[in-house]
């Protein structure tokens, strides 16, 4: 596993910071959170996998008085985007004295001349209260743009350091941008700040927006519980975000423990048969007279999946929430049992709310550390949290896969214990 972070060159300029704990390239954080220390691994003759620690360096690469930076937000909305933007701007401006900061509008489209998007000058005044707002003041977009045109724009604007706030697709683009910059022998740094409400980025303990999403989703599951108990044979069905990973559904279900069934992409399930979901749901309704179901959007795609890809290059998903709503109603009609089903899809509401205090503080640390390491000339990486430390992870390593809920993990075992749900598969399948 190659965790080496690229560098634009030697840092020769003294940092303006004072009274801080400096971090050097020798400061690294173990990938294996169970290992004692890097030193102990070397004593045993092992070469441990470790990440470069983020934080302020005593020397910086850029002439801060002449540096121009840019910030772009890409992909779908997520709580905390404005908080990260604000943190980057305030750290650049107040901590390092960098006053020339541009906000690129509408994602990577903002670099492409044919779209005609203007840039936004960013300073402490323009970002003073944006942390109280959901969404992003820079707006966003999905879809691929020509890498050469993006680098052309960076060179035309004389950008020395670009901050990309995005997810898996944005970081793949970031890696290609860095390749093009290297081919041109340009000296432009590219730093990523990981944004995914699903918490599915590899080598990341948590992503910003996830805590806010879980909090909102928990409230909505509580509403579904009220609805399910408010009518005879009531069913509350909630669809939550989670294309490939069920972290939001699993975590929100554990908050108040109202959910009776949690369906996630990682855990396949049968609909029909004596062990299938519909039979188990029917048994609960006949016995308990109510049920709450939480489903992640990427679950059960073998029943409702569609062909093709979306504008971001992700495989298109069928609507599992609508499928379950209709199939449950149909099942109970054939059984001659009337149910009162309430279907709730809060996805766009959740992703658009302002960040909670916990997420806001986390966003602040991410922005600060992105600036610290970026100004030291490091490039082609993201800043993230690992083993309770902020670290640098190369783009090409981040984009090798997605983090998913382990079916033998403490998280999923707790969900199964809290709900009491079976596997929804016949015993012969094990």
pLDDT in tens, 315-366: 789 999 999 999 999 999 999 999 999 999 998 899 999 999 999 999 999 9
Question: Which domains, ranges and CATH numbers included, belong to the chain?
Answer: 6-207+355-398 (3.40.50.450), 211-352+407-429 (3.40.50.460)
Query: Which residues of 61-214 form beta strands (DSSP E)?
Result: 68-73, 100-104, 119-121, 161-166, 189-194
**74 within 8 A of 166, measured Cβ to Cβ:** yes
pLDDT at 45: 59
Provide the token pair at 228.
């399910």
pLDDT at 426: 72
Left if phi > 0, otherwise alpha if psi is -120 to 50, otherwise beta: which for 360? alpha
- The reply to whether 345 belongs to the active site is no
| Backbone φ, ψ for residue 32 (5° rounding) | -80, 105
pLDDT tens per residue, range 13-34: 999 999 899 999 999 998 886 6
pLDDT tens per residue, range 364-391: 999 999 999 999 999 999 999 998 899 9
- Catalytic-labelled residue, pool 2, 14, 168, 198: 198
* 99-122: average pLDDT: 97
Neighbours of 16 (CB within 10 A): 10
Query: Is residue 143's pLDDT more than 90?
Result: no
Cβ neighbours of residue 306 under 8 Å, at least 6 residues apart? 316, 317, 318
Interhelix angle 81-90/357-375, rounded to 10 degrees, is 40
């Amino acid at each position: 596993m190659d965790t080496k972070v690229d560098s634009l060159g030697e840092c020769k300029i003294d940092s303006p910071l004072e009274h801080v704990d400096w971090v050097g390239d020798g400061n690294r954080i173990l990938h294996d959170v169970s290992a004692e220390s890097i030193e102990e691994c070397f004593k045993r003759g092992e070469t441990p996998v470790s990440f470069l620690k983020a934080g302020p360096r005593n020397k910086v690469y850029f002439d801060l008085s002449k540096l121009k930076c840019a910030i772009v937000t890409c992909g779908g909305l997520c709580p905390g985007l404005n908080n990260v933007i604000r943190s980057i701007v305030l750290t650049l401006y107040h901590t390092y004295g960098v006053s020339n900061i541009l906000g690129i509008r509408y994602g990577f489209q903002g670099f492409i001349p044919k779209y005609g998007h203007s840039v936004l000058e960013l300073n402490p005044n323009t970002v003073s209260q944006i942390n109280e707002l959901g969404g992003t003041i820079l707006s966003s977009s999905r879809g691929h743009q020509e890498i050469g045109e993006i680098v052309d724009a960076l060179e035309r604007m004389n950008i020395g350091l670009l901050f990309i706030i995005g997810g898996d697709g944005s970081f793949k683009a970031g890696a290609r941008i860095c390749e093009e910059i290297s081919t041109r022998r340009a000296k432009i740094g590219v730093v990523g700040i990981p944004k995914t409400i699903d918490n599915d980025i590899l080598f990341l303990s948590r992503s910003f927006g996830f805590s806010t999403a879980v909090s909102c989703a928990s409230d909505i599951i509580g509403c579904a519980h009220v609805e399910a108990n408010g009518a005879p044979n009531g069913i509350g069905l909630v669809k939550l975000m989670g294309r490939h990973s069920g972290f939001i559904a699993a975590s929100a279900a554990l908050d108040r423990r109202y959910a009776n069934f949690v369906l996630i992409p990682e855990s396949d399930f049968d609909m029909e048969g004596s062990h299938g979901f519909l039979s188990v749901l029917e048994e609960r309704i006949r016995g308990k007279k109510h049920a709450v179901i939480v489903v992640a959007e990427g679950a059960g795609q073998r029943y409702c999946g569609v062909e093709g890809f979306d504008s971001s290059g992700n495989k298109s998903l069928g609507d599992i929430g609508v499928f379950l709503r209709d199939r449950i109603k149909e099942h109970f009609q054939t059984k001659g049992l009337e149910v009162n089903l309430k279907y709730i899809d809060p996805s766009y509401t959740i992703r658009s709310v302002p960040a909670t205090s916990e997420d806001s503080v986390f966003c602040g640390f991410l922005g600060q550390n992105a600036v610290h390491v970026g100004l030291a000339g490091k490039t082609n990486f993201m800043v993230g949290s690992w083993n309770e430390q902020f670290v640098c992870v190369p783009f090409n390593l981040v984009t090798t896969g997605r983090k998913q809920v382990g079916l033998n993990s403490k998280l999923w075992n707790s969900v199964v214990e809290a709900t009491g749900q079976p596997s929804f598969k016949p015993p012969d399948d094990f």
